[in-house]
Amino acid sequence: MNIFGGNQGPIPLSQLDTNFAECATDADLAAHTASATGVHGVGAGDVVGTVKVQTLTNKTVNLANNTLTGTKAQFDTAVSDDNFAYVGTTNTFSQNQVISVTDNTNPALKITQAGTGHALLVEDVASDTTPFVIDQNGLTGVGTATPQSQLDVRTGTGASIIAGRSTNVAATSEPGYFDIKAPNASGIENFWMRIKSVVTDATNATEDADTVFMSMRAGTLTEDMRLSGGNLGLGVTPSAWGSSERAIDIGNTGAIGRQSDAALVLNFNSYLNSSAQYIYKISSYASSYQQLAGQHKWFTAPSGTAGNAITFTQAMTLDASGNLGLGLAGAS
């Protein structure tokens, strides 16, 4: 039934407004006068609703290029055209649907979930019912309907990549992390690897943070490596080297690095601090081997207390000319 005459067609989806008044009653449609309650023909066929809610029963509405304006528009039954959408059930389209907005201030699409369900769920027609989810807590899941963090990406085999962040850096000291999680031999999901940031100073303009690499060891995520202040610790937090030094700490006692004087050093139980002092790592003996300007130097020190300064003795020197000195700072 064509209620407005002319060459009208279905209402385009882009012209529907969820705040538009419903159409007129059957009697109003039969009369179809300019004063019919709830329906008015204007100009080229624009339809303007009144404040009175009307119900259209078993009728067909064809509007072509006309425009609906008002306070409420709603279809409670299925429609078959690709340009239609209706409320309370599934809309099926044979063509792609495009949202095109020119607005420098407002978003093109805004979804508000006031209930406890997902804010957004995207499904495909294959077997995966949760390829993309944003839940009520703002967590995003790819391949999972129950994301555990800000980003939770999972495969069909159960493996997942999880990334997250903290909203309070000072309170947690760990503002962000990246995890790999997968089932073990018993099918129980477990973490296999983690990379995280650990804040050491959250003060504005003087912030410092370490990058920590962890892996699974005997059923527990264990720190394997830490990058701190440009120095790397393998299985240990790097010692407090001077700002001009660059070193790799290996466990509690070993270290290899480059000192500020360009010397390459291999140390046992020692590091060079910001005051240019060698410091004991643990309470034990200390030694150092250094290469600089073609020379090879060996240093020893008696047993000392962890954290105390070291007094090294140069025990042997091989100079650039191939001369060897024992117990000497140089050779001749």
The yes-or-no verdict on residue 326 having pLDDT over 50 is yes
pLDDT of residue 248: 97
Determine the pLDDT at residue 170. 64
Tokens, residue 212:
């920590």
The number of residues in the chain equals 332
Residue 255 near residue 271, CB atoms below 8 Å = yes
Three-state SS letters, 281-324: CCCCCEEEEEEECCEEEEEEECCCCCCCECCCEEEEEECCCCCE
Q: Which residue did the predictor score with more confidence, 41 or 305?
A: 305
Q: Which pLDDT value is given to residue 133? A: 85
Task: Return all residues near 159 (Cβ < 8 A) that are at least 6 apart.
Answer: 180, 181, 182, 183
- Whole-number percent of the chain with pLDDT over 70: 67
In sequence order, what DSSP letters do the residues of 177-214 get, joined into one string?
A: EEEEEEE-TTS-EEEEEEEEEEEEE-STTS-EEEEEEE
Q: How far apart are CA 270 and CA 256, in angstroms?
A: 10
- Counting other chains too, the contacts that 286-290 makes at CB distance below 8 Å and 24 or more residues apart are 286/310, 286/312, 288/312, 289/265, 290/259, 290/263, 290/264, 290/265, 290/266
The whole-number pLDDT of residue 22 equals 44
* 45-59 tens-digit pLDDT: 444 444 444 444 444
Average pLDDT, integer, range 150-164:
78
Q: Which two tokens stand for residue 37?
A: 């309650």
If we measure between CA atoms, which residue out of 246, 184, 174 comes closest to residue 210?
Answer: 174
Mean pLDDT, to the nearest integer, of 166-183? 77
Confidence of residue 202 (pLDDT cuts 50, 70, 90): confident
Q: What average pLDDT does this structure show over 270-297? A: 96
Q: What is the pLDDT of residue 39?
A: 43
pLDDT score at 292: 93
Give the mean model confidence (pLDDT) for residues 123-147.
77
pLDDT of residue 5: 44
Predicted confidence at residue 284, as pLDDT, reads: 98
Q: What is the pLDDT of residue 110?
A: 83
How many Å apart are CA 175 and CA 123, to the nearest integer? Answer: 32
Average pLDDT (232-245) is 94
Dist CA 95 CA 252 (whole Å)? 65
Average pLDDT estimate for 191-204:
88
Please, what is the average pLDDT of the chain? 76
* Pairing state between β 68-69 and 46-48: parallel
Q: What is the pTM of this model?
A: 0.59
- Backbone Cα Rg of the chain: 37
Q: Are strands 151-154 and 140-142 parallel, antiparallel or unpaired?
A: parallel
